[in-house]
Amino acid sequence: MSDTVCVGAIAGAFGTGGEVRLKSFTAHPEDIAAYGALATEDGARSFEVTLTGQTSGALTARLSGVRTREQAESLRGTRLYVPRERLPELPEDEFYHADLIGLSVHDSGGALLGRVRAVLNHGAADLLEVEVPGESGTVLLPFTREAVPTVDLVSGRIVADPPEGIF
């Protein structure tokens, strides 16, 4: 597990005064401003975040040190991270998406099915995008208790009981 977790990304400038459109990856989008300063992936820059409103699909915000539209636009695509210790503890059967990425996926007999590439959510429920060894494509595995009965972060593995025909 990494010491930092990606909690959002800058989607571009908003208006002319240096505000940005901010995509939040937190369960409650507004929580992104509650974790203190957010840093770039390399840690070279950090920003205090002040939310100013909402726009379609994003929050609007002011970032410390960003005063012009040009500065805001130059940050487009920048992912923002927070130290893991600032995040709240999760209940036993909940996980941060960042902790699932990279875990190996095995069937109940122990055979390797693949490795988690991403966690996706298109509205209904989370899906694990699984890279299958020797295959060029990926498989989408529903992240439900039925399809994924065991997640073992300590050993870095998931035990899956996938629906028929997925793999």
Name the nearest CA neighbour of 40 among 65, 19, 15, 57: 65
How is the chain split into domains, by residue range? Answer: 4-86, 97-160
20, pLDDT greater than 90: yes
Average pLDDT over residues 39-63: 95
Name the nearest CA neighbour of 16 among 51, 68, 82, 52: 68
- Assign domain 97-160 to a CATH class: mainly beta
Give one DSSP letter per residue of 14-42, joined into a string: ETTTTEEEEEE-SSSGGGGGGS--EE-TT
Instruction: Report whether CATH 3.90.1300.10 matches the domain 4-86.
Output: no
Quote the CA–CA distance of 60 and 73 in Å, as a whole number: 13
Supply the pLDDT for residue 12: 96
Residue-wise pLDDT for 99-158, tens only, equals 999 999 999 999 999 999 999 877 778 899 999 999 888 999 999 999 999 999 999 999
Supply the pLDDT for residue 165: 87
Supply the pLDDT for residue 58: 93
82, pLDDT greater than 80: yes
Global pTM reads: 0.75
Q: What share of the chain is helix, strand, coil (3-state, %, to 5)?
A: 10, 45, 45
Sign of CA dihedral 44, 46, 52, 55: positive
Pairing of strands 112-121, 104-107: antiparallel
Please report how many Cα atoms fall inside a 13 Å half-sphere around the Cα of residue 17, on the Cβ side. 4
